Amino acid sequence: MSTYQIKLEGDILKVGFGATLATGDQIVRDADTRLNEMIASRELPGGSLIKINGRTSVLVSQVLAAKLSKLYEVIALFDPKIGDKGLDRYVVTISNNPEYKVGDILDVVRTKQQSNIKVVLCGFANTGKTCFRDGLKQALLQIPNAPESYIISGCPDGDGSWYGETARRDLDLAQTLKAEYKAGFTPEFARLKAQEVKGINTPIFVFDVGGKISPENRLIMAEATHAVILVKNETEIAPWQELCESLNLQIVAIIFSDYYGTNDVIHSEMSPLKGSVHRLQRGENVAERPIVQALANLLVNKYRG
């Protein structure tokens, strides 16, 4: 199974990582192979403009640019952070056409006007939100024909969406990078993060927030539509539940983080999903945990209606 998926839909090249975790060298080889197949079969005929929509890494973007720039005059990449209601926005990154300049923004009307869902993962500190978020990211990728999803960190603690995979390969490197990326949770950070969350219109968008009930988290969470609450015990539920309800967020799951547990427990698969997830340990792949997969399926079904 390829670790990187590429297909052409109209004039948009849809790209994304496969469900199988792999190192960068394998991913770029798979991307290169797929592009060569598409070029040989004339599935990629070349022309003036190609738009790329989906997940890319720095490594993959180099392969895409090298191959596509020989076929197309202009390459533009989708930027989920500058979307608008009813529009997808693409930024021109390569141009050999005087009608386009690098940095130009192309507005494309979405063919599918279905409402997206924005899910905030919230809870107090040390519940394992980062590990859970990374597992949910992979679980969504494993669902066949799932709508596109996008996962980011909504707090300045250095735990980007890269952290889990990096920690599995090199925990020391991951911890070093986290320390370098860590920033202050200021009102300015919250304002900018809320603006970013508001602009993202990927079908399923998930972000986590810091482990405190604060004005900053309230500002960021207000841009969500749904919430998942992760707690260590019963007493932690009410404060976050009250905050979510005050922001009119639909709570889709309340999950207990059982660090010393040996298996997941699912009490109810209906929304809100209820149960427990065991051992959210940094560096471990939790995508196969039953409750993580149950939540991924719940979000997909909720988006599809």
pLDDT at 165 over 80: no
Residue 232 is predicted with a pLDDT of 97
Residue 199 is predicted with a pLDDT of 84
Q: φ, ψ for residue 140 (rounded to 5)?
A: -65, -40
Average the pLDDT over 72-93 and give the result. Answer: 88
Looking at per-residue pLDDT, the higher value among 74 and 148 belongs to 74
Range scoring the smallest mean pLDDT among 64-78, 100-114, 171-185, 257-271: 171-185
pLDDT tens digit sequence for 132-159: 999 999 999 999 889 989 999 887 654 5
pTM above 0.75, yes or no: yes
Residue 64 is predicted with a pLDDT of 97
Looking at per-residue pLDDT, the higher value among 17 and 94 belongs to 94
Measured CA distances, 82 to 79, 148, 162, 201, 218 (Å): 6, 16, 21, 9, 22
The C-alpha atoms of residue 141 and residue 1 are separated, in whole angstroms, by 13
Residue 82 is predicted with a pLDDT of 80
Residue 21 is predicted with a pLDDT of 73
pLDDT at 176 over 80: no
pLDDT tens digit sequence for 227-280: 999 999 999 999 999 999 999 999 999 999 999 999 999 999 888 999 999 999
